[in-house]
A and B are shown apart, each in its own frame.
Chain A
Amino acid sequence: MTASVAHILATGIGLGLAALGAGIGDGLVTSRFVEGVARQPAAQGQLMTNMFISVGLIEALPLIVLVLVGFVFTK
């Protein structure tokens, strides 16, 4: 296994794990949001605001991983 093959593998695994993390996190938040709106439709505005805040916060770390693995560590 040469260095460039190892680089490509590392990039692929890193990006895949980042996408997995973002997907699961966003899915959990959104499912709770839909459940909350189903229980009380009047709260949709406030819940949706919180959902977008949470999605932005949760996606921060996978995005950091993406930027680091994709552009910093592969040079």
Chain B
Amino acid sequence: MACSSWHVLGLGLCGRTLIQTWVVMVVVASLALVAARGARSGRPTWLQNLFELLIGFIAGFMGTTPQGLLADRRQRLLFDLLAALFLFILVSNLLDVIPPYSAPTNTLNTTLALAIIVFVFVHASGIARHKGGYGRTFLHGGAAGYVLLPLTIIEELSKPLTLSFRLFGNIFAGELMIMVLGHILGGLRFVFGGFVFQVAWLAFSIFVAAMQAFIFTILALAYHHQATADGGH
């Protein structure tokens, strides 16, 4: 994987990925700022409408409304994380479409970091909710819970793993397909519309980008719900 490493303070950093991440951060932050500053009530601007749609969408999956979010601080924290994840992953994956850029999520570095953030947040929320009895929530189903405990622990550890690998695999394989579809035709891909296969795959990649961002966010919400809900598994 193309990763020109920088050496900063004794650590090796992946330079290209870092720069792509900064580009994504600048895009998301500037879009959000422009949307918020130019917000009008009654005649929403285009960008404001887009962000309101997004906020309503995520709030709907949390089972509340944007107005309800303003009241509850803990819900607000969860919403902040979900909205940040969704926007970051969506813009990162979409950055892949523009030729000089590549998605920062095409390396396990970025996706594993995101999955670890979700993992830490979920378990910290669970501990905050259940305090000392958090370990007991892993014993599902009465007496058989002790027998199943190793499996439950493995399942809990596999969650950040599959979360990171799913996103990484989708984006990396997508990028690779773009390259492979070019190599099939060789030099012909530059003339006579020989690039139509790559373009078709790019269109599918845009759909996959949005879908993977959505799935990552939904799974983060589901894991958080599992960790903080009282009662059944």
Contacts and interface: CB of A to CB of B under 8 A. Distances in A.
Interface of A: 52-53, 55-57, 59-61, 63-64, 66-67
A14 B155 CA distance: 24
B165 A56 contact: no
13 contacts: A56-B170, A56-B211, A57-B215, A57-B219, A59-B170, A63-B165, A63-B169, A63-B170, A66-B169, A66-B173, A67-B165, A67-B168, A67-B173
Nearest to B162: A60
Interface in B149-199: 162, 165-166, 168-170, 172-173
DSSP majority for the A interface?
Answer: helix
B166 A64 contact: yes
Nearest to B210: A52
Interface residues of B, number: 14
A51 to B, nearest CB: 11
Interface in B194-233: 211-212, 214-215, 218-219
A34 to B, nearest CB: 19
B215 A53 contact: yes
A16 to B, nearest CB: 15
B190 to A, nearest CB: 26
B173 A60 contact: no
B71 to A, nearest CB: 27
Nearest to A59: B170
A60 B165 contact: yes
Contact of A64 (B165, B215, B219): B165
